[in-house]
A and B are shown apart, each in its own frame.
Chain A
Amino acid sequence: MRLQYPPEIKIIMIPCTGRVDILHLLKAFEGGADAVFVAGCLEGECHYLMGNIRARKRVNKLKKDFTEIGMEPERLEMFNLSSSEGPRFAAIAKEMSERAFKLGPSPIKHEARAAWLAEHPEVKEAS
């Protein structure tokens, strides 16, 4: 369909969202990502039956942890969609990209964050 979405979105392929480990999500942030989302099959339609349910659990757990450590939980999300929902994928990509821009560099990236905060005095650090 070649629906346009922001180029900041970069996709990494895994066999099933069930393979997504909390470790992978953390490493993505550590590596420099400002937002991460997991795109899985619709619930009930997992080729491997339960993989997406497991993934959602892990994502939700991590979001909770984020809140506790003072990182915006909106930086992480899990979505369910089917392979024929190209437009929805593009919409999600846009939404997540907008979130990342709105939230600014992730707090893990101290220098970038500080510079960004300097440019955006209106933003107050949560903690």
Chain B
Amino acid sequence: MGRLLNTILIGVSGGSIYSLMALALVLVWRSTRVVNFAQAGQAILSTYIGYVVITHTNNYWIAFPVALLAGALAGALIDILMVRTLMKRAHSGPVAGIAPVIATLGLLGLIRAVVGMIWGGDLRQFKLPVSNHGFTFGHNTIPFAPINLLIVMTTVVVMLIFSLIFQRTNLGLSLRASAYQPEIARLAGIRVDLTRTIGWAFAGAAGAVAGMLVTPTNYLSPNSLDLLLVSGFVAAVIGGLESLVGAAVGGLILGISLALVLEYISSSLAFPVAFVVLIAVLLFKPSGLIGAKRTRHA
């Protein structure tokens, strides 16, 4: 029983990170109808900037908001420089539908190369903001540590903030309207381009949070968030790409499933399991386990 509980706790912690990445992907999807593969690139860039701040100030908590800002700025810049062009061009031809995908892919490679050029490929370490030692209850130490609690709590806060923004504010309404029907939004007086830029800024910030949270217990290198991007995508798909709550739940489901597989079956099956879950959800419950109103054909 204890072992199961521990495994689930680990799964929740890991799953929270997936949720954050999924959140970033869903944000961009809902505000732009583009799946941003460069998300991992933005996140890693923000994390490196956080790293620089930490090395200079030796303080994680100063680095955190700086990284967030960097992520938001990067997201906004990408939208202004690249996405606007994409939206205007390429409306026909075989590449048109996938042009945004390929462009964000190119962007991912670009950011990774730049990061590699500036900082090199060696693995670096963050100082832990809070302890990595599991909580102790009397004689027992569980694998859930303060850092894991921080991760889960931050994820919950981020989710709440974004949910509130999306569902209860005019900004959120503008974001949704601009994503669903940009023309109608324009005719309603919404500044669609500006709104979209804000959406990308939010997503960039979310990715930065994910990067800053996951790196202390891991390591930092230009490729260290790649697997996270894929996991985030799987989590987003499980949750149904339309829903922020779905992203959260999807991440948890993925995190817990992976933890269970790793613990009870075998550690080498992590990827195949994640992949099979992905395919299974896409085949049998295309609108995600949470369910959304639209189908996946757009």
A associates with B: no
**Interface residues, chain A, CB within 8 Å of chain B?**
none
